[in-house]
Chains A and B, each alone.
Chain A
Amino acid sequence: MKKKALVLVLVLVMAASLLAACGATSTGSSAAGSSAASSSAASSSKAVSSSSSAASSSSAASSETAKITGTLEVAVFSNGDKMDDFWNKAVAAFEKKYPDCKVTLTANPKIEDSIRPRFVSDNPPDIYYMGGNANNDEAALTAEGKFLKLNDWFDTATADGYDGLLKDNIGVKMFNTVNNDIYGVSFSYGTWGYYYNAGMAEQYGWTAPTNWKEFTELAPKIKEQGIYPMIHQGKYPDYLGYGLLQPGIATDSGKDTLVKMGNLDAATYRSDAVKNAYKKFETLRENDWVPASALALTHTEAQMEWLQGKAFIIPCGNWLEGEMAADTPDGFKMAYMPTFWYDSTNKPVYVASGTRISIAAKAKNSEAAKAFLSILYSKDMTKAVVEDAMGVPVMKDDLKGLTLEPSSQDMINQVNSGKVTVINEVGGAGNFEPYEQQRTATKDAIAAILGGQKDADTAVEDLAKEIEKIASDSSIQKVTIS
């Protein structure tokens, strides 16, 4: 009898825990719901209109502070201590300036899992920072009208520590823009390019290539030493696409080519500019300048191989030092360069991209949310961007006394020297590729060429056909980038 009772209790406990897990709600949603400010309700209904009053300027600081009350829910991607520090600083700065408004911060590396269903049920957080995989939802959320238009805020916002308006102090505009309407802004940016082993370069007297001709002349010399000229994060061909291919195409034929590709113009995909860019992958494979097995490697595996000296070059965004800090051998020297994937004598291009932060169209406290955005562009937070390795600040700032990550500093030095051009990405997530189907098709084409499954001409033709299919698929909401 006792045994039966014990079994029954165990079964009930298991069932109860199962049901409890089903009933769990996200933190902060009830807190956000209790926001009482009627002014915020009025302004959130105004915010979607493009004619919201510019008269509500921020010149009257005390009245602005008085307007910011209630609670503010901020949901952000954060993948570690430094990112957590950054967001905690932002919240502290906001609450110091607006003591009547309390912030509920939710930060985790899989933020999209908890926030996505809240957008579906029209109960979103006030602010959403879409880093990591959350980035994938940005374009779709924008198309669904889930974000507030920020044009009026951007036209009148100021940033503490900088004179004048915010828009006059921004150096690099990393916005999620659709038909000139701003739906997301970024306070920092990064670029894609490649890293090379500077210690190896010193040892063998190699110079990092600045164009395709230099690479093809250097590669055989590297192979003679039993080292691969390049390795790549094979499982994620994006690294090759964004680090080398895309900026290479932009270098040879301009940003307009990327814009046309982003707008699903199949004829541009079939153009010589694009075909020549893809043919270079064929050259890599035919000459064994990249390991065939690289296609099996994750990003950290490939980067580890590079740190162990198996290859000279690796494409990456300018975050490699931070990501591999724990695995970088003592004394290892790395340097960062823009793409060499081009044939012309034009200045190489960096494509700048930034993770964006947006205000929900159905935010319960949009006034406070706008004020929070302004805080992110303040002098203190610009400093925090550098200190917490959130990328390069977008503000026009000499960053005196601050030390950028070495690759970011390399990039800034190159830009300041006039040897490199920077173009800003457009199209929401994806560097001139607004559609996830498009990104998949590009990755598949690169993998097919490097894996020997297709030659470059066939891969590009199949890619162009895929682009035509995407363009004619009425179930995919189209945007026009410019």
Chain B
Amino acid sequence: MRGAASPTERRRPALFRKDGLKMKGPQAQSARKLPNAWKVRSRFIALFTLPTFVLFAVFVLLPIVQGLYYSFFQWSGLSKDMQFIGFDNYVKLFHDPIAWRALGNDLKIALIRLAFTLILSLGTALILTRCRVPGNRFYRNVLFFPVMLSVVVICTIWMLLVNPSIGVVTRILSFFGIASPDAGWLGDYRTALYTTIPPAVWCSVGFYMIIFISAIESIPAELFESAKIDGVSHWSEMWDIVLPLLRPQINFCVIYVVISSMNGSYLFVKLLTDGGPNSSSQVLGTYMSLNGFNYHQFGYATAVAMLILAATLVLSTVLNRIFRSDAYEF
């Protein structure tokens, strides 16, 4: 139940329990008799979290605060002269059709990428753990390999794969009549945006697959044995045993894919289409970069950055609520 101490927590000495100070009775008295233990524990926690927090504050919080500050100014980014203009950048952003198109593109990428990443990573994890696949370890390594590649390498490979003249992907699909052999998807305003999604999925599936594999392998074998004895089918096993127990990892995957997509789609779009043709594949990241480094309007660019932050927070909060789950302990 939510809020109740887990079996592990109940076995812990009162001095070190999370709910130690709220306890009543003799155990609480003994806990309160040695407040130094809590201080020791607090210091211990602080010592190990402080460096991370400092790095987080310097490289994440501070830039966000600075960005918010700059968004109220008109600033070319090439001099110290900044002119305070209040909310003008946000008013301009509200009336900017390209910004809204970019936001829509970001949401499309995030949701499509989430669907494919979740299905592929979960599917491969299930196959590699619940089915007897020869060369299991080999496939795990091969599927994880793209995670280690640089995005530039991945995008370069993808551009060759979908090249209108020599692309293998276009040739195979044209063999099955799905596409014309000289299709230039990255240059077609109807397909450019969606063509940036496959490499983004490909380079992240392995990462989530490993997380799911680890979670599946930590499920006690007794549960599967009991299910087998009860005559549960593979599908039922997956739907009724494995997936519910993977809810926390699925939740993590959903949030992380969305966050990394909202922030990371910039790289794929920049390298593959540069927001074109005719801004059809523009995303907020590339639009922010265009305004900052090309148009020299850093104030407006940081306003776009704030929009990215707000959209990411809203989307991840909504998805967190949808995929919210209880933790199970064995």
Contacts and interface: CB of A to CB of B under 8 A. Distances in A.
Given A295-B184, A436-B294, A443-B276, 19 more contacts: A119-B79, A120-B77, A120-B78, A140-B296, A146-B78, A146-B79, A291-B182, A293-B164, A294-B187, A295-B188, A295-B276, A296-B185, A297-B187, A301-B163, A440-B294, A444-B278, A447-B189, A451-B189, A453-B189
Identify the 4 closest CB pairs spanning chains A and B, nearest first: A293-B184, A295-B187, A296-B187, A296-B184
B300 to A, nearest CB: 7
A141 B188 CA distance: 35
A64 interface: no
Contacts of A137: 78, 296
B176 to A, nearest CB: 19
Interface string B64-83: 00000000001011111100
Interface in A424-458: 436-437, 440, 443-445, 447-448, 451, 453
A291 B187 CA distance: 11
B186 interface: yes
A235 B188 contact: no
A144 B81 contact: yes
Contacts of A145: 79
Interface residues of A, number: 41
B164 A291 contact: yes
29 contacts: A15-B51, A116-B77, A119-B78, A119-B79, A120-B79, A141-B78, A144-B78, A146-B78, A234-B187, A235-B186, A235-B187, A292-B188, A294-B184, A296-B188, A297-B184, A298-B159, A437-B295, A440-B290, A440-B294, A445-B278, A447-B277, A451-B187, A451-B189, A451-B278, A453-B189, A453-B278, A453-B280, A475-B297, A475-B299
- Majority secondary structure, A binding face: helix
B76 A144 contact: yes
B28 interface: no
Contacts of A453: 189, 277-278, 280
Contacts of B290: 440
Contacts of A121: 80
B182 A293 contact: yes
Nearest to A450: B277
Contact of B274 (A122, A140, A235, A448): A235
Contacts of B186: 235, 296
Contact of B79 (A144, A295, A297): A144
B93 to A, nearest CB: 12
A447 B276 CA distance: 8
Contact of B184 (A140, A143, A234): A234
Nearest to B298: A120
A308 B280 CA distance: 30
Chief secondary structure at chain B's binding surface: loop
Interface in B28-78: 51, 55, 74, 76-78
Interface string B297-323: 101100000000000000000000000
Interface of A: 15, 18, 116, 119-122, 136-137, 140-141, 143-146, 234-235, 291-298, 301, 305, 310, 436-437, 440, 443-445, 447-448, 451, 453, 475-477
A122 B81 CA distance: 11
Interface residues of B, number: 40
A445 B277 CA distance: 9
B276 A444 contact: yes
Contacts of A293: 164-165, 182-184, 187
A437 B274 CA distance: 15
Nearest to A122: B80
Nearest to A435: B295
Nearest to B299: A475
B293 interface: yes
B249 interface: no
B264 to A, nearest CB: 21
B263 interface: no
Interface in B72-117: 74, 76-81, 85, 88, 92
A116 B164 contact: no
A453 B192 CA distance: 13
Nearest to A292: B184
Contacts of A18: 55
Given A136-B293, A310-B165, A437-B295, A235 B78 contact: no
B279 interface: yes
B204 interface: no
The CB with the most chain A CB atoms within 10 A, among B159, B163, B164, B189, is that of B164
B124 interface: no
Contacts of B265: none
B277 A295 contact: yes
B121 interface: no
Interface in B163-196: 163-165, 182-189
Contacts of A291: 164, 182, 184
Contacts of B299: 475
B135 to A, nearest CB: 33
Contacts of B74: 475
B273 interface: yes
Contacts of A292: 182, 184, 187-188
Nearest to B294: A436
Interface in B248-296: 273-274, 276-280, 290, 293-296
Nearest to A18: B55
A444 B273 CA distance: 13
Nearest to A145: B79
Contacts of A294: 164, 184, 187
A296 B164 contact: yes
A51 to B, nearest CB: 25
Given A291-B164, A296-B186, A436-B295, A140 B279 contact: no
Contacts of B295: 436-437, 476
A136 to B, nearest CB: 6
B32 to A, nearest CB: 32
Nearest to B165: A305
